Each structure stands twice: as structure tokens, then as C-alpha cells.
Copies of this chain bind each other. A is one copy, B any other.
Amino acid sequence: MKKVKTGLIGFGTVGTGVVKTLAGKGAFIKKKRGVAVEIVRIADKDLRRKRPVKVPRSKLTTDVNKILNDPAIDIVVELIGGIQPAKKFVMKALKAGKHVVTANKALLANSGKEIFGLARKKGVTVRFEASVGGGIPVIKALSEDFAANTIQAIYGIINGTSNYILSKMEEDGESFKSALKSAQDLGIAERNPLLDINGMDSAHKLAILTLLGFGRYVDVKKIFVEGIQNIELRDIRYAKQWGYSIKLLAIAKEDGGRLDVRVHPTLLSSKHLLAGVRGAQNAIYIKGDMIGESLLYGEGAGQKATSSAVVSDIVDIAESVAVGKALEMPNMNFDSGIRGMKEIGKVKSRYYIRFMAVDKPGVLAAISGILARFKISISSVTQKERHKEHAVPIVMLTHDAVEQDLKKALSIIYRLNAIAGKPVTIRMMR
């Protein structure tokens, strides 16, 4: 049996997990799948750091070219993350006719077109199951299992940190700050959690899912992104009273021939399967014309789950390399019937709105009058407390409204004397 030679760039948490897995389970995998994978070289800037896995010194290098220029290496595994120098390494590997496995969502979201294009030109494969949803097989499901489907919608909870924080707030009544701190203490959130809580991590992953589902490269900068940093405990509580949970959703859906792609906190019915996704777990809900409604749920991060996905990518490629035939890269940029992007201003949605208002007669009448002028109708409304001196929250759910109409209405309402502070708006899942 031919051993398929693999080079690993990046010997951090996931890299260590991959090395450990192949060392401990190589024989198990070989028995199951009939292929032997050997990591012949590992490149990392820092070779001094202690790692919980034993690797012969001769396999370690600080020079990635020892991998990229080695004709014996068939598969390059890129696990350094970030755009550069990862991109340079990946492009060089592809140019050299090597297959690539990567977990790098930022890289693929930003440079997928170049990378996949080059892979197809060179007749090699890029696999990236670990880039979205950790151990959840969503990449393969979209590219292979659901290949015959016209995908209609993808809704993802694909940032574990945000979901952990929102779950903690909802279940334990913690403030955003305190929930974030507990996520950091548990190692779920990084010390700098900005990309997680501001929604950008979800946007990177969403760009990848959108490509697989709808055949369109979406410029990440053009995705409408709103994070969870402004979600207050009381909004979670009010939503819960009406039977809703607030989740950070990454959404890509077809709407009248256009592609509606966005990331934002969203109220969804507590009965929806996605509402049951708690803690740092991830889930992706996919609607297709043949499969109907589908949900894939699991651990979205962590050394083990991510390594599991990376190793399965390596083994898939190794299988075809072992029999001497390269897998072909699917055509990512297919025509799914989408004709352009939906602007966020034109998106129709139901809304949760919280106004802070002085408790005077006529305030609610004024608010609802202005909303009505923009054809926005209210489905539920509650005035939460009654303190004469202070502003009181007026909380409402609307029926479907066009985003730009709502914005205009709110800017007028904001100027009312009785309104204290900017209204809080959270979109609802239709």
C-alpha cells in the first residue's frame, strides 16, 4: 500500500490535533478506508514551543519551502489561518500540483475565486470541511449530498462564541459582559473576541456556504453584518416572553431571483430547531427543493472536532491519490438562477422594536401613527413598566416591513420629544 505523503503548515492547536489523530488512529483509518497517510514534514515559525505530541526533530522545519518544493509531497495541509502568508503558501502548493486541505475561512472567503480557479486549472483539489462548522459535515453535504438540489435558503448558527453568550444570557440571566467573560474563562472566546461578536467570523463562513449553495462568489465586504455586541439582557427577556429566542444567524437565501445574504441577531420561534442550539454548538439549516428542510448540528470548533474534519479531508484526497487518480475540483461558480444581490434596504422582515419613551398619553398613538404611514403594522405590543419620571420600554413585534421604510419611520419617531434614546431593532426570522 502506497503511503500518501502529506506536509503540514502550521503546528498550532489544530495542527497538533491532526498529527495526534494520524499517529494514534492511522491504523484504524487504514483498515476502514484502505489508505495510509504519512505526515512527512511539519513547518512552523516556532519549533521551540512544547506540544503534547511526539514528532521526530527531522520532520520539523521553519522553512515552508521544504514542503512546497518537495515533489514527494502530494497533499499540503494549511493550518496557519489568516490571509497572508497562508494565501501565498496555498497558491504555491497548487501551482506545484499539490492538493490542499485548509481550515482557513478568512482565506477562502476573501480569495476563494483565485484559489479554486487555480486548483481547477491544475487539476488538483482543495478541501475545506473544517472551515465552516468544525466537525459538522456541511461542506460535503452542500457540495455532494445535496448536489441535485436547488438550494433555497441557508440559515446558520456558525459562531460558537456568540451563541454561547446569547444562550448564557437567555438561560442564566447574565449580562452580555458577564457572559462574554465566562466564555473567555472557558476558552470558548478568544482574548480578543472582536471577530466573533461583531459577526465577521460568521460572514466569512457564510461567504463559503453561499458559494457552495448558490454558486456565487460574494464579496465579504458587501455582506450586511451586525454582531451581538448591542444585545441587551432585557431584549432577550422580552423576546422570550413572546416565545422567541435571539440567535446570531448567518443567512443566505434566494428572494425573487436575488441573493439575500446577511449576518445579524435574529428572533426565532422557540419551537424552531435552531432555537434549541445552545452553548457553543453550531448548526446549519438548509432548505432545498428536493431535500426539503435539513439541519446539521454539532461542535463548531475545538481541537478534536476540527481535526476530525481536516483528517477526513486528507483521507478523501489520499484515497484517490493512492489509486493514482486525482479528484477533480467541482465547479464552484455554477449558475443557480440567481440574478444579482438583494440590497439590505429592500429586504422584507418582521421586526422586534424597543422604544424608550416617556410615559405620557399619546406616545403609543404617535409611534403607531408614524409606522402606519410607512405601511408598517404592529402584531404585538407591550408597555413594560410604569415609572412616571423615567423612560419606559415600549416593545413591539411588527408584521413584514421593508427595511428602508422601517428606517425612515424610526428616524422620524426618534425625533419625537417623548422618545429617549435610539430605538433598538432586531430582525425576526420569517
Q: Which residues of A contact B (CB under 8 A)?
A: 21, 25, 28-29, 31-34, 129, 134-137, 140-141, 144-150, 215, 271, 273, 276, 281, 283, 288-299, 302, 304-305, 307-309, 311-312, 315-316, 319-320, 323-325, 328, 330-331, 334-336
A129, closest chain B residue (CB): B145
State whether A305 and B290 are in contact (beta carbons under 8 Å apart), knowing that A33-B330, A144-B140, A330-B33 are contacts in the complex.
yes
Rounded to whole Å, the gap between the CB of A36 and the closest CB of chain B is 13
Contact A149 B33 (CB under 8 A): no
Contact B330 A32 (CB under 8 A): yes
Residues in B whose Cβ lies below 8 Å from that of A309: 145
Residues in B whose Cβ lies below 8 Å from that of A289: 304
Identical subunits present: 2
State whether A147 and B295 are in contact (beta carbons under 8 Å apart), knowing that A34-B331, A290-B304, A325-B324 are contacts in the complex.
no
Please measure, in the bound complex, the distance between the C-alpha atom of A292 and the C-alpha atom of B141, giving whole angstroms. 19
Contact A147 B298 (CB under 8 A): no
Contact A308 B149 (CB under 8 A): yes
| Most chain B CB within a 10 A radius of its CB, from A148, A297, A323 | A148
Contact B295 A32 (CB under 8 A): no
Residues in B whose Cβ lies below 8 Å from that of A33: 147, 330-331
Residues in B whose Cβ lies below 8 Å from that of A148: 21, 25, 28-29, 307-308, 311-312, 315
A308, closest chain B residue (CB): B290
Contact A296 B299 (CB under 8 A): no
Q: Which 8 A-B pairs have the closest CB atoms?
A: A135-B291, A137-B145, A290-B308, A325-B325, A294-B298, A295-B297, A148-B311, A290-B304
Contact A304 B325 (CB under 8 A): no
Please measure, in the bound complex, the distance between the C-alpha atom of A148 and the C-alpha atom of B21, giving whole angstroms. 8
Contact B304 A298 (CB under 8 A): no
A302, closest chain B residue (CB): B292
Residues in B whose Cβ lies below 8 Å from that of A299: 291-294
Residues in B whose Cβ lies below 8 Å from that of A325: 320, 323-325
Residues in B whose Cβ lies below 8 Å from that of A145: 129, 135, 137, 140, 308-309, 312
Rounded to whole Å, the gap between the CB of A398 and the closest CB of chain B is 27
Residues in B whose Cβ lies below 8 Å from that of A316: 144
Contact A290 B21 (CB under 8 A): yes
Please measure, in the bound complex, the distance between the C-alpha atom of A296 and the C-alpha atom of B260, giving whole angstroms. 25
Rounded to whole Å, the gap between the CB of A14 and the closest CB of chain B is 12
Contact B135 A290 (CB under 8 A): yes
State whether A331 and B31 are in contact (beta carbons under 8 Å apart), knowing that A129-B145, A148-B312, A325-B325 are contacts in the complex.
yes
Please measure, in the bound complex, the distance between the C-alpha atom of A150 and the C-alpha atom of B148, giving whole angstroms. 31
Contact A32 B147 (CB under 8 A): yes
Which of B25, B292, B311 is the one whose CB lies under 8 Å from A135? Answer: B292
A292, closest chain B residue (CB): B299
Rounded to whole Å, the gap between the CB of A134 and the closest CB of chain B is 8
